[in-house]
Amino acid sequence: MAQLKFSDQQPDKPPKPEKMVFQVSEFNQLINQLISTTEFTIEGEISEINVRQNRWVFMTLKDPKNEEVLNIFSTYYQIKNSLEFLQVGTLVHASGKAKLYGKSGKFSLYAYQVTPVGDGKLQKAFLVLKAKLEAEGLFDPDRKRALPEYPSRIFLLTAPESRAYSDFIKITKARGFGKIEIYYLPINVQGAKSVASILAAFDYVKANPDQADLAVITRGGGSLEDFQAFNHEEVVKSAFGLPIPLVSAIGHEADVSLIDYVADVRASTPSNAAEIIFPALTEVGQQLDFLIQRLVSQVNKQLELSWHKFELIKQSLLKYLSTPFDKLDGLEIQMKGLLDHYRHKTDWLAGRLPNLSRQLKDKSWYHFELVKQRYNKYQSLLASFNPKSVLARGFSITTDDHGHVIKQADQLRLGQNLMTYLKTGKIGSKVEKIYDR
């Protein structure tokens, strides 16, 4: 039988692992990779706040219980809507990711959102922003648009797998509109990513306005703090610029958010939004019955009116047709007499026409000869008075410088230039001596 023997020698010890040595920058980078994957919301009191160059915001949060502190860094743009409500001593919720800054070696929270805690402070911030947006005209009731009567396509903006989504779809199907096209745009309804997700959904609606008839944004109930994304200035202004009507159903009936004021229609709950948008088939049937009754009433009224007119026309025809035939015969005789009279007169004028034509021709020739004789007489008379005729008989005509005919010697003066016209040609002369006779 074999026996087991144990050696007195101890086995060799396993080698010790080598120590990992990090450079400072490598360690900081490793820590940032480990802590930057998770978002945190930290509650604390502001013990220090500093805004630099209207770009960077540095805060220190203090734990009210044990005085421990945490550095907070953010940008002015990200928290500008909350800055006026942030001051030393304010209890806030800071949401963001942790980070270790290598150059300073300081650990801090890079915050995307910083909001006051407590309904009192949130309500004050809500009312201040509401007054500002109202003054800018975003809540003007005159700009609100009516919803389409029977929409067939809608954008639905709500949280994935939320009660608001299921309630809206349930009521839509129950009211007989289950085959409507619903384009679902998932959004975060609260938390650090909520504002960005809502803005992205609104941007999609603006880029595709022809894809749907209206948009619905909805979520379930909550506190005023839960509704911060729907009270964000950028979100409200983006909703104001939508090219299609917007229905808001944020929370329950008592809950109010700023997006409710800018929406074209506000619903008290997600279910109420579906009821407002889609009328029940029973209501549609009642409307059709009412319209049919009105149509039948109008048709009957028109038929009665047409029948009355027909009776009036019939009575008028019977009245004229009942005229005695002897009166009609008398009228016919009168018409025939008038026609014969005008026919005889026309024939008489036609018979006289050749004689009248001959008389007109004779009288025209007589007048022509008479005018011709008078013309020849006046022509001879005018010819006798023509100066050229006088010159042709051996006479001459003398004129002065101005073309005036010289008839007497006393018209002349010594040295005056004269012009004498003969039958052919003319003679220029100058007065050297004047004789009276």
Which of 217, 251, 278 is a domain's end point?
278
Quote the mean pLDDT of the chain.
79
User: Do 73 and 179 lie in a common domain?
Assistant: no
Residues 108 and 154 in one domain: no
Last residue of a domain, one of 259, 278, 297: 278
Q: Which residues pair with 265 in a beta bridge?
A: 247
With CA atoms as reference, report the closest residue to 156 among 187, 199, 200, 197: 187
Question: For residues 87 and 244, which has the higher predicted lDDT (pLDDT)?
Answer: 244
Give domain status of residue 239, yes or no.
Answer: yes
Q: Outline where 94-154 has alpha helix (H).
A: 119-135
What pLDDT digit, counting tens, does each position of 113-138 carry? 888 886 667 777 888 888 999 999 99
Residue 375 in contact with residue 367, Cβ under 8 Å? no
List the beta bridge partners of residue 57. Answer: 51, 74
Angle between helices 163-174 and 270-277 (to 10 degrees): 30
Residues 208 and 110 in one domain: no
- Residue 201: is its pLDDT beyond 90? yes
Identify the CA nearest to 270 among candidates 364, 186, 156, 187. Answer: 156
Shared domain check, 273 and 154: yes
Residue 9 lies in a domain: no
Q: Predicted confidence band at 11 (pLDDT cuts at 50, 70, 90)? A: low
Residues 272 and 218 in one domain: yes
Specify if 250 maps to a domain: yes
pLDDT surpasses 50 at 5: no
pTM higher than 0.85 for the full model?
A: no
- Are residues 158 and 208 part of one domain? yes
Report how far residue 20's alpha carbon sits from residue 27's, in angstroms, rounded to the nearest whole number: 11
Whether 2 has a pLDDT exceeding 50, the answer reads: no
User: Residue 7: is its pLDDT beyond 50?
Assistant: no
Most confident listed range (65-74, 155-164, 225-234): 155-164
Please report whether residue 267 resides in a domain. Answer: yes
CB 274 within 8 A of CB 245: no
pLDDT of residue 415: 85
**Is the domain of 113 the same as that of 165?**
no
Q: Is residue 187 in a domain?
A: yes
Whether residue 273 sits in one domain with residue 193 = yes
Mean pLDDT of 75-87: 81
* pLDDT value of residue 272: 92
Residue 172 shares a structural domain with residue 107: no
Phi, then psi, of 116 in degrees rounded to 5: -65, 150
Look at residue 137 and tell me if it is in a domain.
no
Q: Does 268 share its domain with 196?
A: yes
d(CA 288, CA 284): 6
Q: Is the pLDDT of residue 244 over 90?
A: yes
Residue 265 lies in a domain: yes
Flag whether pLDDT at 355 surpasses 80.
Answer: no
The pLDDT value recorded for residue 183 is 94
Do 110 and 157 belong to one domain? Answer: no
* pLDDT tens for each residue of 278-334: 875 545 555 555 555 666 667 667 767 766 766 676 566 556 555 544 455 565 676
Are 155 and 270 found together in one domain? yes
d(CA 104, CA 87): 25
Q: If you average pLDDT over residues 381-405, what whole number do you get?
A: 74
Q: Which of 278, 296, 326 is the last residue before a domain boundary?
A: 278
Is residue 140 domain-resident? Answer: no
- The average pLDDT across 51-76 equals 88
CB 78 within 8 A of CB 66: no
Domain holding 424, by residue range, is 389-430
**What is residue 13's DSSP assignment?**
P
Of 89-98, 204-213, 251-260, which one has max mean pLDDT?
204-213
Let me know how many helices (H) and strands (E) the chain has, helices first: 11, 13
What is the domain count for the chain? 3
Interatomic CA distance for residues 238 and 411, integer angstroms: 112
* pLDDT tens digits, one per residue of 206-234: 999 999 999 999 998 877 778 889 999 99
